[in-house]
């Protein structure tokens, strides 16, 4: 199987992607590429455009990942704007927005977008959960405040067990089956 290049500026995402796809005997290379992220209310549109842009720049089979944290009591906010919201108000800001509310349910969506000369594909993974009352130690991004259903721990507290619950793992499993069936 031809190695797939993961295009991103986020080394943490690459390490997760590499770890998960290695269990499917899929080799992933890293290309640290700053991709233009279109502003859209659609996570799918953002992921597709990032994949097309990455393929155009690298000229080889490429995959990108885009994800969003969707908080029910905030009408799905920050959703496709999760990266911007994290860089501006961070986890403290999210907890402040939720202060005084008992409704803390949320979900994480991950989209793996793949592009080569002939094909494009999107694989989705979703994990339901809730937002914790406080920021826990470790992890990155929203890991210190997101608790997946089935555990009282945040992604950050789960550490090496995070991939057992991860939205990214679910999307990558679908991607692995799709690409294996194409190459099989």
Residues forming the active site? 66
CB 145 within 8 A of CB 154: yes
Rounded Cα–Cα distance for residues 78 and 66 (Å): 13
Rounded Cα–Cα distance for residues 46 and 174 (Å): 19
- Any idea of the CA torsion for 59, 82, 162, 136, to the nearest 10 degrees? 140
Rounded Cα–Cα distance for residues 54 and 37 (Å): 11
Other beta carbons less than 10 A from residue 103's beta carbon:
12
Rounded Cα–Cα distance for residues 45 and 22 (Å): 28
CB 51 within 8 A of CB 36: no
Rounded Cα–Cα distance for residues 64 and 74 (Å): 27
């Amino acid at each position: 199987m031809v190695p797939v290049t993961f295009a991103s500026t986020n080394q943490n995402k690459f390490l997760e992607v590499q770890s998960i796809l290695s269990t499917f005997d899929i080799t992933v290379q890293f290309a640290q590429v700053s991709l233009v992220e279109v502003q859209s209310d659609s996570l799918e549109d953002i992921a597709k455009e990032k994949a097309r842009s990455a393929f155009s720049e690298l000229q080889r089979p490429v995959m990108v990942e885009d994800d969003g944290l969707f908080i029910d009591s905030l009408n799905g906010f920050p959703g496709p704007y999760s990266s911007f919201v994290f860089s501006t108000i961070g986890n403290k800001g999210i907890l402040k927005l939720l202060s005084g509310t008992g409704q803390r349910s949320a979900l994480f969506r991950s989209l793996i977008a793949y592009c080569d000369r002939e094909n494009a594909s999107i694989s989705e993974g979703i994990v339901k959960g809730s937002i914790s009352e406080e920021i826990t130690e470790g992890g990155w991004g929203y890991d210190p405040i997101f608790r997946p259903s089935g555990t009282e721990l945040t992604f950050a507290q789960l550490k090496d067990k995070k991939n057992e619950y991860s939205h990214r793992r679910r999307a990558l499993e679908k991607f692995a089956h799709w690409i294996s069936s194409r190459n099989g």
